[in-house]
């Protein structure tokens, strides 16, 4: 079965999206980084103008929840004062760039991210979710993260690679951005109805597929890393007050967002107690669950409450409020899909695939009287 159609646009700080708990206002941190002042200011804004919850998304973005029509304008003013608001909605939409969390100021990854940001005006019209990954470390940390054009290290030097192609085109730091922009124009001309590069890549000429990428890096996990202390946010949900206290208490200098419901505290001197996940074996890291009831108007079930009860299973588990599968748009060993207040169960598939069982009672699942 095919995935239900997503909305044709992505919400931002200029164009919020209405959900069950008000509007969500999404921010795209530049180079996936915020300094400590920005983090604390963002948390204060989420508490004053939203409901105090911040989502960490699968594109390493942050979204403030629970914003109302009368709090949107003051929130935008606060975000502007923190340097977190783009000049306009068009610029915000184009700035869809993932940057490796292990990059450090002044290195090639940060330099190329900055250079790409400065030239977004040269891009053609692209589908809303079209984006870039800049990942120039010796191993590729963002290899499995969603992106359409990848600027990364190859076996013999820097490459620009179309997502879905096994190889990319060799470039050097001076030609990388020109080449990436050229590839966006190729996509705009040849994409037909495709919205993502991987769906158009079969038509890509061979001279874009000459250089193999470097090996993939092992997944990032909570704990110590070269960039700082890595922590997890269960289901990507962050309590703004807890994050502000963590930033202040740890004396961290900056926060790096990642696409894996993990964030990195740079320069933390201590790690005070917090609700965030610090151990790589925490079972909540292996469960995906979207906001569900009452946060999403498409949901009829409590997803995260059930996911917490079922966490700890040996295989991947996804609890989805409906067939769209926002929290995990890919297969899991077991996927519970909400429908009319009950759950269907998909085995080895996605939330939109044919269920193996239907109409499971949420209470029985939570109590363990209904096994999956």
Minimum distance from residue 320 beta carbon to ligand SF4 (Å): 5
Cβ-proximal residue to ligand SF4, closest one: 321
Q: How far is CA 281 from CA 180, 255, 328, in A?
A: 38, 22, 20
| Nearer Cβ to ligand SF4 (149/326) | 326
C-beta separation of 229 from 267 below 8 A: no
Q: Cα(315)–Cα(312) distance, rounded to whole angstroms? A: 8
Residue with tokens 């973005």: 61
C-beta separation of 218 from 230 below 8 A: no
Rg of the chain over CA atoms, in angstroms? Answer: 21
Q: How far is CA 321 from CA 120, 163, 228, 344, in A?
A: 35, 29, 34, 10
| Nearer Cβ to ligand SF4 (1/118) | 1
Minimum distance from residue 303 beta carbon to ligand SF4 (Å): 7
| Nearer Cβ to ligand SF4 (19/76) | 19
Cβ-Cβ contacts under 8 Å for 189 (sequence gap 6 or more): none
| Nearer Cβ to ligand SF4 (169/304) | 304
| Nearer Cβ to ligand SF4 (131/292) | 292
| Nearer Cβ to ligand SF4 (140/318) | 318
Minimum distance from residue 275 beta carbon to ligand SF4 (Å): 22
Cβ-Cβ contacts under 8 Å for 129 (sequence gap 6 or more): 6, 10, 96, 146, 195, 196
- Rounded to the nearest 5°, which phi and psi values hold at 113? -60, -45
Minimum distance from residue 135 beta carbon to ligand SF4 (Å): 27
Minimum distance from residue 333 beta carbon to ligand SF4 (Å): 18
Q: How far is CA 258 from the centre of its chain?
A: 7
Binding site for ligand SF4 (CB under 6 A): 290-292, 296, 298-299, 320-322, 324-326
Of 199, 128, 201, the C-alpha closest to 167 is: 201
Q: What residues are paired with 64 via a beta bridge?
A: 25, 54
* Helices and strands, number each (H, E), in the chain: 8, 20
Q: Cα(362)–Cα(57) distance, rounded to whole angstroms? A: 26
Minimum distance from residue 316 beta carbon to ligand SF4 (Å): 16
Minimum distance from residue 172 beta carbon to ligand SF4 (Å): 42
| Nearer Cβ to ligand SF4 (321/362) | 321
| Nearer Cβ to ligand SF4 (29/291) | 291
Minimum distance from residue 103 beta carbon to ligand SF4 (Å): 30
């Amino acid at each position: 079965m095919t995935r239900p159609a997503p909305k044709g646009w992505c919400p931002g700080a200029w164009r919020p999206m209405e959900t069950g708990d008000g509007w969500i206002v999404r921010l795209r941190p530049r180079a996936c980084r915020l300094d400590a002042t920005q983090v604390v200011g963002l948390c204060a804004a989420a508490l004053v103008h939203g409901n105090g919850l911040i989502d960490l998304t699968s594109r390493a973005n942050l979204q403030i929840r629970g914003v109302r029509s009368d709090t949107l304008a003051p929130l935008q003013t606060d975000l502007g004062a923190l340097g977190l608001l783009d000049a306009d909605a068009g610029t915000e939409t184009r700035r869809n760039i993932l940057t490796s969390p292990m990059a450090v100021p002044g290195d090639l990854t940060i330099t190329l991210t900055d250079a790409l940001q400065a030239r977004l005006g040269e891009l053609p019209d692209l589908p809303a979710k079209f984006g870039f990954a800049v990942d120039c470390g010796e191993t590729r940390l963002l290899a499995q993260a969603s992106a359409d054009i990848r600027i990364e290290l190859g076996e013999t030097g820097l490459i620009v690679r179309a997502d879905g192609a096994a190889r990319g085109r060799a470039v050097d730091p001076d030609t990388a951005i020109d080449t990436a922009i050229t590839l966006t124009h190729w996509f705009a001309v040849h994409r037909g109805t495709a919205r993502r590069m991987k769906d158009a890549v079969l038509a890509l000429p061979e001279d874009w597929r000459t250089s193999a990428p470097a090996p993939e890096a092992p997944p990032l996990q909570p704990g110590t890393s070269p960039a700082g202390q890595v922590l997890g946010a269960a289901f990507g949900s962050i309590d703004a007050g807890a994050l502000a206290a963590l930033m202040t208490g740890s004396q961290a200098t900056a926060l790096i967002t990642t696409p894996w419901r993990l964030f990195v505290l740079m320069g933390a001197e201590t790690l005070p107690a917090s609700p965030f996940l610090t151990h790589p074996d925490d079972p909540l890291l292996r469960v995906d669950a979207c906001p569900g009831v009452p946060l999403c108007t498409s949901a009829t079930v409590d997803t995260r409450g059930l996911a917490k009860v079922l966490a700890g299973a040996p295989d991947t588990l996804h609890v989805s409020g409906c067939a769209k599968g926002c929290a995990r748009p890919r297969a899991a060993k077991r996927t519970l899909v909400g429908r009319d207040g009950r759950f269907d169960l998909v085995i080895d598939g996605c939330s939109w695939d044919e269920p193996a069982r239907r109409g499971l009672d949420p209470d029985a699942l939570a109590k363990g009287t209904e096994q999956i």
